[in-house]
Amino acid sequence: MKNLRIALIVTLLIAIAGGVTVWNASQPVIEVQAQNDGWETDWSKNLGVTLLAEFDSSGPAAWDPGAHPLVFFTTEGPGYSGLMSGLTEPGVAIIDAVTKEPVASASFALEGVEAYFEPHGLGVSPDGRWLYLPTGTNPGFGAVGGGRLLVIDALTLKLNKVLAVPTNPHHAKAFTDAAGNSRVLAYTFREGGFYVLDHNDDNRVVGGVDNGQLQGRGYLAFVSPNGKWMFITTRPPRGVPGEGFVAVVDTSNWRVVTRLDTFDTDPIWVAFNAESTKAYVTGGHSSVVVRINMEGDSPNAWTVDGGSSAAAIGPYGVHLNWDEDELWTVSKGEGAHNRGISLGLVNPTIFRPPPIAAWTPGSVGEFFTGCMRGDHGTLHPDPDLEELWVTCNGSFEIVVWDMFAREVINRIPMPNGGSTHSGAFVQYEAGPMGEFSGEVVSDQNGLQGSALETKKEILGIAD
């Protein structure tokens, strides 16, 4: 693993209750205009990202990665419009990925913000050093000038930076580009932008895509396992009828090279196979999954060669199992009731070519989870478990789904009763003198690092 060494002396100032380590604190922040001191880049200027404030995030560890070497980081926030959740501020929660018990949590207050936008996706830097928490002012998915991306020390759980972005940020995730550089991708809601951060260089902006390139409304973004291509799911321009599409971006220069029709007005999530030869895209409007054939060096030759019913209404996430012979869709009810409580199962080998009317044969069935308004799933990095962790922002819990037994095997309530979206599994290893190294092994962008290599070995894929 190519990990940044995280040096710390594990001094635990933690409350112990019933054998479970839980740390709760609201860290007040005075938000002041920071001296950029060389932090700005041409990319940050062009994309409208500003270093608004920075802080000393050093100090004692808020939790012990030696005792919890594999953890799941996720968001914990006030819920949609601040309804029903036990929290009023954006925060993070850490769950032990083996025992499934809460480890630590923290929430963050920003000076001058009275109501916070629900964090919709937490990211972790590839080395496990930094957390990226999207938030902003509430209300408004596209509130101009109110977006904030919080950069948090993963071990002290103290704030390191506040980045201002043009509109409320949406998700963050880890990836490795085609040149082998580990990066962090973050992006905003609606007609915002897509930002690439270098976590090894003070989290400066080193790439990205302005929404103006897309010829539509960019929504979510994912990077292929080989690091060469970013797929941005894009809706038609506001008020213009038509189908949505995937904009394919070359990560070597961050330019759009082609656009592929997804046969649905609302394309959402993308899952890649480990070989980077296939991509699966959910369509929320027609409740479908389409398959993009990525074989060949030129994206201009790629096509949508098949599709299927998603087996669930308003699918948001789509996730391949370890053997890549099953596709699991998360029924959020996107564009419909928005109260999904199920998962859909699709056989990716029984897809049919266009037109959409024929896309029904891959559907295997729909399975009740009780996970209210689940949207994101994350594959557990242990291939023997076949677990999909689904975050439920309506029932304020994480549901652990056994893809082999096809049943819920655990329900993990959020430590403070907050709403949760997405997350990342991170593996930590202890070293001499209290040092730790970390590695993101699974997040919204799929399996990463050593877990991805394990999957390739299982599937017999040669690098």
pLDDT given for residue 435 in this prediction: 79
Give 234-286 pLDDT, tens digit per residue: 999 888 888 999 999 999 999 999 999 999 999 999 999 999 999 999 999 99
Coil, helix or strand for 428? strand
**Lookup: tokens for 257:** 């090279």
Cβ atoms of 320 and 343 closer than 8 Å: no
pLDDT band (50, 70, 90) for residue 15: very low
pTM of the entire predicted model: 0.92
> What are the CA-CA distances from residue 91 to residues 157, 185, 443 (Å)?
10, 19, 18
Give 298-308 pLDDT, tens digit per residue: 999 999 999 99
Cβ atoms of 90 and 421 closer than 8 Å: no
pLDDT band (50, 70, 90) for residue 354: confident
pLDDT given for residue 126 in this prediction: 97
E strand residue ranges, 273-422: 278-283, 288-293, 303-309, 315-320, 327-331, 342-346, 363-368, 374-379, 387-392, 397-402, 407-413
Closest CA to 350 of 286, 306, 299: 306
For residues 424-429, give the mean pLDDT: 97
* Length of the chain, in residues: 463
Say yes or no to pLDDT of 80 above 60: yes
E strand residue ranges, 239-325: 245-250, 255-261, 267-272, 278-283, 288-293, 303-309, 315-320
Cβ atoms of 391 and 422 closer than 8 Å: yes
Say yes or no to pLDDT of 230 above 50: yes
Q: Does 452 or 54 have the greater pLDDT score?
A: 452
pLDDT given for residue 395 in this prediction: 92
Round to whole Å and give the CA distance between 91 and 122.
Answer: 10
Torsional sign, CA 11, 13, 16, 22: negative
Say yes or no to pLDDT of 19 above 60: no
Cβ atoms of 260 and 279 closer than 8 Å: no
For residues 133-159, give the mean pLDDT: 85
* Beta-sheet pairing, 204-210 with 217-223: unpaired
**Lookup: tokens for 326:** 């099953």
Say yes or no to pLDDT of 154 above 80: yes
Give the gyration radius of the chain's Cα atoms: 20
